[in-house]
A and B are shown apart, each in its own frame.
Chain A
């Protein structure tokens, strides 16, 4: 596995974990009385710092190592395209689906700030999956 594949795999795992936690916390917020928001937010902050430190340790650049070549750059470009493309697909769904279901309905504005993290999550998932697919699944790809 090369550097880009490692990054993609870590991002994929963290994104899936984030999605799972997000859904669980949203459900808990509605169904559990006295939901400890502060503790959960602090826990999330500590967890994200832990992930960042873990990533920087694993992906530390060795002296004289070539990080990426033309092919890696092309794969990265395609992955970005897949990521932004999937976000725009999400935007299309978010814009058209409510009109199709209930044309006269109204949306609470407090939902708007949540669109951004959802889009970022969607992009991270699409980018990492696209990178892994382009390099080939499993143990394929160069060692680093």
Chain B
């Protein structure tokens, strides 16, 4: 397993947990549950940021740590991630429209909730695709 795979695995664990918590908080909807979910998600979000900066640092360094193949894998993964985020966002807005119905006004905060759901889907899919493209968790170069 190389460094990029380790980063992807780490991101996948955090993003998938965040996604599950977000889905649960949307389904349950109690204010205390939502507050607790938001705090847990914020704690889980924080390590995602340095891990992405670390990957960026590897990409800038280039060379053997981040070659053409790694770049291609990460571009494809980002594309898949954006496609899934796009689908999740519009599916969520469509479902809201179908469930609530036309002529009803909803709180603006719901849009932000849907956006966060899309962002978490992006991180989860991107990390999963990176791992799949490298050929699973156990394969790849050692680092």
Contact = CB atoms under 8 A, between A and B. Distances in A.
Contacts of A95: 111-112, 114-115
Interface residues of B, number: 31
Contacts of B97: 109-110, 112-113
Nearest to B107: A106
A105 B106 CA distance: 9
A4 to B, nearest CB: 17
A88 B96 CA distance: 19
B137 interface: no
A107 B75 contact: no
A87 B86 contact: yes
A85 interface: yes
B111 to A, nearest CB: 5
Interface size class of A (residues with CB under 8 A): 20 to 34
B16 interface: no
A53 interface: no
A135 interface: no
A91 to B, nearest CB: 6
Interface stretch (A12-20, A41-49, A54-62, A76-84): A76-84
A104 B85 CA distance: 26
A92 B111 CA distance: 10
B94 A112 contact: yes
B92 to A, nearest CB: 9
Interface in B108-126: 108-112, 114-115, 118, 122
B106 A119 contact: no
Contact of A81 (B78, B105, B118, B122): B78
Given A77-B79, A85-B82, A107-B105, 5 more contacts: A84-B83, A87-B86, A107-B107, A109-B105, A112-B97
